[in-house]
């Protein structure tokens, strides 16, 4: 699935999955107005121990984290029985606070593996006007 950008009057939704255009190439810049809310959605599988974590906290004067939630995919197979190891998505919601630029850096890693390189990383520059 390719990344998609959708701006609504007060909600900017940035839908990104692992392997999307966001994963490769230069850092994308999202330009917002003060007060706008946007979401970053990333494929994840908490059953593996991996989760997306903020590697760099953005400048709170420019953008702040509102919430982050994990939503598992449908967990039952065609036979109606639960499937083991089902993945899902993490939804990160941020709000544009004031004029400026800030970087959002997320790493996909196991929290207890402090000395190990993350399996994936994503960066997004936010410009608030």
**What would the pLDDT profile of 35-81 be if each residue is shown by its tens digit?**
999 999 999 999 999 999 999 889 999 999 999 999 988 777 777 77
CB atoms within 10 A of CB 124: 22
What's the CATH code of the domain at 68?
2.60.40.2020
Q: Is 12 exposed, middle or buried (0-12, 13-18, 19+ CB in 10 A)?
A: buried
Q: How many domains does the chain have?
A: 1
Q: Is 35 exposed, middle or buried (0-12, 13-18, 19+ CB in 10 A)?
A: exposed
Spatial distance between the Cα atoms of 42 and 3, rounded to a whole number of angstroms = 10
C-alpha closest to that of 89 among 25, 41, 23 = 41
Q: Which residue has the higher pLDDT, 18 or 56?
A: 56
Residue 45 domain boundaries: 4-128
- Which range in 9-18, 24-33, 53-62, 76-85 is most confidently predicted, on average pLDDT? 53-62
Q: Confidence band (pLDDT; 50, 70, 90) for 26? A: low
Q: Which residue has the higher pLDDT, 26 or 12?
A: 26
């Amino acid at each position: 699935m390719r990344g998609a950008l959708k701006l609504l009057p007060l909600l900017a939704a940035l839908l990104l999955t692992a392997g999307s255009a966001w994963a490769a190439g230069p850092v994308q810049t999202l330009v917002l107005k003060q007060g706008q809310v946007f979401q970053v959605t990333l494929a994840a599988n908490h059953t593996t121990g991996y989760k997306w974590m903020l590697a760099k906290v953005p400048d709170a004067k420019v953008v702040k984290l509102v919430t982050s939630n994990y939503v598992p995919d449908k967990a039952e197979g065609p036979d109606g029985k639960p499937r083991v190891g089902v993945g899902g998505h993490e939804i990160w919601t941020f709000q544009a606070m004031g004029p400026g630029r800030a970087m959002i850096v997320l790493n996909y890693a196991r929290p207890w593996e402090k000395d190990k390189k993350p399996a994936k990383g994503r960066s997004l520059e936010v410009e608030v006007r």
